[in-house]
Amino acid sequence: MFCPKCGNDIENGSSYCKNCGARIESTPQSAYQAGVPPQYILPLKSSGIAAILSFIIPGAGVIYAGQIGKGLLYFIIGIIVSFATIMLLPFIVVFLIFWVWQIYDAYNITEEYNQILQTTGQKPW
């Protein structure tokens, strides 16, 4: 620690500088100096918006939650299953199961994102 008036090295916790006699005001350490990592302020994501996006476009809610690769995979699978449903009507059951699943997954991924963000202060992925 250094004296703010004369710049000489002083002991930590000293009230006065031994060299010039200036009063040293103790300043509280920041959390970062105390060894605690800084907390980042990032906005939480809405699980409802993720579910609505996935309702409209398969995989869009997962992309919104930050998992772009998984969201693109859901989008491609959605296209394939949609074409299969058009060609063969019994595939509508597979399409409905997939459609509901990816909406549910988008909701859960967004909830997990928010929980990790609130716990650590950093993006999980």
**SS3 for the chain, per residue?**
CECCCCCCECCCCCCECCCCCCECCCCCCCCCCCCCCCCCCCCCCCHHHHHHHHHHCCCHHHHHCCCHHHHHHHHHHHHHHHHHHHHCHHHHHHHHHHHHHHHHHHHHHHHHHHHHHHHHCCCCC
DSSP reduced 3-state for 23: strand
Domain ranges (residues) in the chain: 1-37, 47-120
Task: Provide the 3-class DSSP secondary structure of residue 40.
Answer: coil
Least confident of 17-21, 54-58, 62-66: 17-21
pLDDT of amino acid 35: 58
pLDDT value at residue 33:
52
Please give the Cα distance from 40 to 77 (Å, whole number): 35
| pLDDT at residue 57 greater than cutoff 90 | yes
Output the pTM of the full model: 0.66
Chain position carrying tokens 């008036």: 5
| 23-27, 64-68, 84-88: range with lowest mean pLDDT | 23-27
Distance CA 119, CA 21 (A): 46
pLDDT at 9 > cutoff 90: no
